[in-house]
Amino acid sequence: MYNVLSALPVPTAAQFTSPSSLQISFTIRDHVRNAQRTIVKSLSLPDLVATGFVDVPSDAVVSLTSPSKLLRAILRETKTNRFVEVWSGDRLVAHKDVTSQHGQFYSDEFISSTTFSPSETSLLYIAEQNPPTVSPDDPFTKFRYRPSFGEGLAKFRQPAIFVLSWSVSDSQKAPQLYQLSIPTLGRTVQFGQAIFHSSTELYATGFELMPDDRLLGIKYCTNRSLGIWRIRFTYPTTSASGGCVSIQCTAEKLTPSHLSCRSPRLLTSSKGPTLVYLSRNAGGPHGATHALHVLPLATLESLPSQPTVLVPIVDDPAPNSFPGLYPPYSLAKSFLIHHEEWNAPKIVIHSTWGSRNTLLFIDTLTGTVTDVTPIDEYKWNWSLLTTDDRNRIICARSSPSIPYQVLLGTVSVDLSVEWSVVHKPELTEDTEAVLSSLKTDIMAVPNRHPVEVIIIRQPKLFGTQNLPPCILMPHGGPHGTSTSEFSPMVAALVLEGYTLALPNYTGSLGFGQSAVLRLLGKCGSLDTDDCMKALQHIVDLGYAQFGKGKLFIHGGSHGGFLGAHLIGQFPDVFTAVALRNPVVSAGEMTATTDIPDWCYVEFGIPYFASKTSSLHMGADGSAAVDEPYEGTSVAPAIYQKLYNASPIRLVDKVLADVLLLVGKDDLRAPPSQGYGYYHALKALQNSRAKSNGQRVEMLVFDGESHPLEGVECARVCWEASKAWFAEAASREREN
């Protein structure tokens, strides 16, 4: 069943290609080719007639429709060449081979941006700078260290903003490529997420290096030293032929250093053009509640310019009330809706609210937040794909028993939404029948506010004293959230006869900022206690039972950290565990991970480098830092504290069968974590005078990083975990 469910299309993006047409992008896992493919589905509006699925050519890295819907830009990349194309219908308006001008295009969700200028005569995109040219004066240039953006972005080190411009009046004139040279005192700041305001003015996110020349990993981490910058430039009066022209810019940082600000967007209201962006406190926990800011651009010329906090951080939400913003890393490219009767547009965003993601409308004048998709019997998990900047939105939704659907929402003046399903996966009758047999409950854990647990089960398996075995599946982060989103792995395990319990322990996002902060310094104790209290609660309700062969754990990253802790702290409770790229020894990880600050902050220890990580501009325009740099060496006392909080301390207590699933290219929880745990368990196993029958196994996946998400890798991980649990349960039944 896993192969069937994991091959279903997953919606990833959408765009209105004209007022009467819509294009939706999906990814699918092709188990035959062992590859992840991208396909698109086009629909005509309003009759919703679909043209079927079409494979996206593998060389098309980015495809973008202009705001007027008249142009389409495509960034193409093969193993040897890169091209930028701009089309008007079937006519190629601009085409340039940029192979020699820069490295790979950026198409990630963290740094990349592709956008048309307001006149739609220029296209902005982000690409990797060419490495420095080797010269006789410096023969070591090609070997000189350049920090990368870490896990998931290891190939990217120095992004640059490029602008391709073309002539509308002279079709014979070749398009010209420009690279923006932004003076920020050497390599102190890298720029991405850039958007046009005018043809010569941009707003972008600046990613600031640490004082030790380190770029801390940004994937899954919203606490980095980021700021919103205004960049201005002037095009040369004389055109160049052929290559790329460097343009000198001026840059001004608009946001304070104590905030981590990202994802600039523009809207137009009664106050004129207004900048919108996300923020949270810089440093501290890797996930947090966010604020949403607006800054009328007209005020930038009058100092001091103060942005308005449109949606503030929520510390302690009342029960069932808005818990604060927990948005995706970047706002949608099209994120507004507007009616003529409204005084200003509304922002559309999806955000975590408890144990699910929901869709929110935010009034850009008052900051009023409206939950458009409150929880119902299906417990849908929602995500925004795009809007038409008028009154239509495209969303994806799913639940633990219903795979991804895509919906078109038409928004009325009173903010009510009329929904039409424009895509749902084609399921066989058998598949639909077995999925419909699943039941999901989201429940609060008594006396552990705000802890919740998601229970997914097959009710038909209950009714006797011999309950189905239960798998406890804590999420990673620790500031992540288990939501009601459809998961092929989870659904397939439930259909194998297991009940799954997904706890959202203290520190999970979606429950207020105070809950996030309460976990700091208590990893390995408060979170494990919450997991055990959640487990006890579902046992009390009759959904699980204690006993050999009845309780298992499956967790990755910090979820693996919790799994290893739980089998050490409670060795007689769990029969077997499957740990995916677990954190096992935080003290050792400080020297090998792309996020060493995690090992400090999450365990209640100040990360010294964070004191100087926030660059700001001094009164004379030069760079300034807050305090002298103190270094990040792990002192013996700090290492001891990290060791005491890590599951490696309890390795000699472990009795459960342990399956380790390790990505060889993981930069976040490096493979040395899994290797060390495996060898420690094996050494103990071999040193015991009498074997207790404990099994210890480790699977290592070449080319896989932290998520273990390759098609073959994900399938093998599921199959191995299923077999691991089944064998453990079978052995206990025989005993």
Average pLDDT of the chain to the nearest whole number: 92
Q: What confidence score (pLDDT) does residue 303 get?
A: 59
27 part of a folded domain: no
Query: Is residue 730 included in any domain, yes or no?
Result: yes
List the domain range (segments joined by +) for residue 516: 430-584+653-734
Q: Are residues 200 and 84 in the same domain?
A: yes
Residue 590: inside a domain = yes
* pLDDT tens digits, one per residue of 558-593: 999 999 999 999 999 999 999 999 999 999 999 999
Q: In the 8-state DSSP scheme, what is residue 175? A: P
625 pLDDT above the threshold of 50: no
Q: Give, in order, the Cα–Cα distances in Å from 621 to each of 227, 240, 250, 616.
A: 16, 32, 12, 9
Which pLDDT score is estimated for 615?
Answer: 33
657 has pLDDT over 60: yes
Helix (H) or strand (E) holding 674: helix 671-687
Q: What percent of the chain has pLDDT over 70?
A: 95
Report the CATH number at residue 292. Answer: 2.130.10.120
Instruction: Give yes or no: residues 574 and 591 share one domain.
Output: no
Same domain? For 398 and 435 the reply is: no
Write the pLDDT tens digit of every residue in 122-154.
999 999 999 888 888 888 888 889 999 999 999
**Average pLDDT rounded to a whole number, residues 615-637:** 49
E strands present in 424-529: 439-444, 452-457, 470-472, 499-504
> Are 484 and 435 in the same domain?
yes
Of 423, 456, 484, the one marking the end of a domain is: 423
Task: Answer with the one of 624, 645, 666 that is the final residue of a domain.
Answer: 645
Same domain as 417, residue 298: yes
| 697 domain residue, yes or no | yes
Residues 554, 522, single domain; the answer is yes
Domain assignment present for 404: yes
- The pLDDT score that the predictor gives to residue 361 is 98
Question: Within 10 Å of residue 298's Cβ, how many Cβ atoms?
Answer: 12
Q: Are residues 275 and 391 in the same domain?
A: yes
Give the C-alpha separation, 612 to 216, whole Å: 13
pLDDT over 90 at 61, yes or no: yes
Q: Residue 251 contacts by C-beta under 8 Å, 6 or more apart in sequence?
A: 182, 183, 184, 206, 229, 230, 231, 232
Burial of 155 per CB tally in 10 Å (0-12, 13-18, 19+): exposed
393 shares a domain with 303: yes
pLDDT band, very low/low/confident/very high, at 501 (cuts 50, 70, 90): very high
pLDDT at 713 over 50: yes
Structure-block tokens of residue 195: 């958007």
Indicate the pLDDT class of residue 253, thresholds 50, 70 and 90: very high
Residue 520, both tokens: 């700091």
Total of domains in the chain: 3
Mark which of 423, 449, 468 sits at the end of a domain. Answer: 423
CATH number at residue 524: 3.40.50.1820
Task: Give the closest residue to 599 by CA, choosing from 504, 506, 507, 523.
Answer: 523
- For residue 140, is it within any domain? no
**Residue 690 and residue 591 in one domain:** no
Pairing mode, strands 346-353 and 356-363? antiparallel
The model's confidence at residue 423, banded by pLDDT at 50, 70 and 90, is: very high
Sign of the CA dihedral 297, 299, 304, 307?
Answer: negative
Tell me which of 641 and 241 has the higher pLDDT.
641
What's the DSSP call for residue 131? P
Cα-Cα-Cα-Cα torsion 71, 77, 78, 82, nearest 10 degrees, comes to 100
Q: Is the pLDDT of residue 628 over 80?
A: no
Inter-residue contact 471 to 493 (CB < 8 Å): yes
pLDDT reported for residue 626: 41
pLDDT per residue over 78-95, tens digit each?
999 999 999 999 999 999
Burial of 688 per CB tally in 10 Å (0-12, 13-18, 19+): exposed
Same domain, 461 and 362: no
Same domain, 567 and 600: no
Q: Is residue 6 part of a domain?
A: no
Residue 351 shares a structural domain with residue 486: no
Residue 391 within a domain: yes
Handedness of CA 423, 426, 429, 435 (dihedral sign): negative
pTM flag (> 0.85) = yes
